[in-house]
Every structure is written in C-alpha cells, then in structure tokens.
Amino acid sequence: MTEEMSWEVKKAIKDEKTKKEVQSAVKVIIKNLNTYGDETLVGNAIKDEIANTHRTLQQGFFRNVIVPVVLQYAKQKKEGWVDLRNEDSCNCAEKLEPILKDSYFRLI
C-alpha cells in the first residue's frame, strides 16, 4: 500500500508544472517579439486575447502580470540596470511606480 501525497506536495508539483508551462509559453512570445517586424503583431495578439477574455481575468492579468513587470522596470532603474536598450521603459516605469505600488485591484 502506498501512502497518498499530502495536498501541499500535490500543490507544489502542480505549481512547478504550471510554472514550466508558462515559462515555455513566454519563451514562444519572446522569440516572436525578437523577430524584427513582428513586435506589433505579437503585442496586438496579446492585447486582443486579454481584452476579449473575462473581465475578472483582465483584472488579474493587470494585477499579477502588468503591474509587477512595471515595478520590476522601476526597480531596475533604481539599481542602475539601465542602458539605451531599456532606458525609456525604465523611465516610464519610474513615473508609474508611485501610482501602481500601493494600488489595489479587487477580484469579484
């Protein structure tokens, strides 16, 4: 007789699998963004897909993806991880940080 895994172990296994799946999907997006001329096409595809999904998912995407990415860019600016390739993004993120860092995005 085998011992059943605890829910914590099951969740950790599921979380690791989910993380790997998402990382694979993001690598596909980045690969396509890195193809000159496809940046707008990829950006519009992401925007359209998110905009056409359930509004609670839109809220979660903004709260859990967009805001942390913007705050990461602001952090990079403060830590000096800026050069001509990401300077504009980091400068913009720095201006948005005060608005976003304490924002609350409810899910209903």
Mean pLDDT, rounded, of the chain: 93
Three state DSSP letters for the chain: CCCCCCHHHHHHHHHHHHHHHHHHHHHHHHHHHCCCCCHHHHHHHHHHHHHCCCHHHHHHHHHHHHHHHHHHHHHHHHHCCCCCCCHHHHHHHHHHHHHHCCCCCCCC
* Distance of alpha carbon 47 from the chain centroid: 13
Instruction: Determine the pLDDT at residue 107.
Output: 81
What is the 8-class DSSP label of residue 72? Answer: H
Q: Is the pLDDT of residue 81 over 60?
A: yes
Instruction: Determine the pLDDT at residue 37.
Output: 79
On whether both 96 and 73 belong to a single domain, the answer is: yes
On whether both 11 and 47 belong to a single domain, the answer is: yes
Instruction: Determine the pLDDT at residue 2.
Output: 59
* Cβ count within 10 A of residue 77: 19
Question: What values do phi and psi take at 82, rounded to 5?
Answer: -130, 140
Q: Say how many domains are in the chain.
A: 2
Instruction: Determine the pLDDT at residue 103.
Output: 92
Select from 10, 28, 52 the last residue of a domain. Answer: 52
Q: Is the pLDDT of residue 1 over 60?
A: no
Q: Is the pLDDT of residue 4 over 90?
A: no
Domain that holds residue 103: 55-108
Share of the chain above pLDDT 90, in %: 82
Select from 19, 34, 52 the last residue of a domain. Answer: 52
On whether both 107 and 60 belong to a single domain, the answer is: yes
> Which tokens go with 7?
């829910």
